[in-house]
């Protein structure tokens, strides 16, 4: 128990001294994760006026909030998460587990046949700290997100997804390269250095998979 207490204390100290946590609080953003997305989007100029954006694993809403502000009044932002998310003006939220067919059907009904320009996925399972358990769960979510992009992302569209390096990572990247013209791995500044997360940016969805 003492080690857990020390670990929790260390995490809290790191969290509240984090410049991105302070920035999020000062700027009224829902989470520091907004600045990961800001760096990724601005580096590659991923957003254009009028885009349709789907944000998977959206709660507490930092990514959707940032995208909605960046798009202004146009376009659509559709967010989904298994956790409840307080409403955001201009964001359509679907509450449910992305692994459930009925939840996926609700997302598809919301799109109503409209093609998506940008799919974002910051999804992650509840982490147990055991790689043999966590990595397969995370990979399953990543595969579901890729399947969704296969069906709903327009040709030429962009898919940005959080991944965890480990078993299955290289195969997943190879699968992305068959689907997209350009695939890059990014580690934004706001991503904590000790975190195993990286982001795969897949641009230029192919009309026909290689």
Per DSSP, the three-state class of 100 is: coil
63 is annotated as contributing to ligand binding: yes
- The one catalytic residue among 162, 187, 193, 205: 162
162 catalytically annotated: yes
97 is annotated as contributing to ligand binding: yes
81 is annotated as contributing to ligand binding: yes
* Residue given tokens 């995490």 in the structure block: 11
Per DSSP, the three-state class of 67 is: helix
Please state whether the peptide bond connecting residue 60 to the residue before it is cis, i.e. omega within 30 degrees of 0. Answer: yes
User: Going edge to edge, which strands form the sheet with 52-56?
Assistant: 91-95, 76-81, 52-56, 116-121, 153-164, 197-205, 180-186
* Residue given tokens 């509450």 in the structure block: 95
44 is annotated as contributing to ligand binding: no
Contacts for 178 with CB less than 8 Å, ≥ 6 apart: 206, 209, 210
66 is annotated as contributing to ligand binding: no
Q: What tokens were used for 22?
A: 């302070």
Number of Cβ within a 10 Å radius of residue 23: 14
Binding residues for S-adenosyl-L-methionine: 61, 63, 81, 97, 122
Kindly list the catalytic residues.
162
């Amino acid at each position: 128990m003492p080690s857990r207490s020390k670990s929790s204390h260390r995490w809290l100290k790191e969290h509240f001294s984090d410049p991105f946590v302070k920035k999020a609080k000062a700027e009224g953003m829902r989470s520091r994760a907004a600045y990961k997305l800001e760096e990724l989007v601005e580096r590659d100029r991923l957003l254009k006026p009028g885009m349709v954006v789907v944000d998977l694993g959206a709660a507490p809403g930092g990514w959707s909030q940032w995208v909605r502000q960046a798009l202004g009044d146009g376009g659509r932002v559709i967010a989904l998460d298994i956790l409840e998310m307080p409403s955001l003006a201009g964001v359509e939220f679907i509450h449910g587990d992305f692994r459930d067919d009925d939840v996926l059907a609700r997302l598809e009904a919301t799109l109503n046949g409209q093609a998506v320009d940008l799919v974002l996925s910051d999804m992650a399972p509840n982490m147990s700290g055991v790689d043999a358990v966590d990595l397969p769960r995370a990979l399953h979510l990543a595969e579901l997100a890729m399947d969704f992009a296969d069906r709903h992302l327009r040709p030429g569209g962009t898919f940005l997804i959080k991944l965890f390096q480990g078993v299955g990572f290289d195969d997943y990247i190879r699968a992305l390269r068959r689907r997209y013209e350009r695939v890059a791995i990014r580690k934004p500044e706001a991503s904590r250095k000790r975190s195993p997360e990286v982001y795969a940016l897949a641009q230029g969805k192919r009309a026909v998979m290689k």
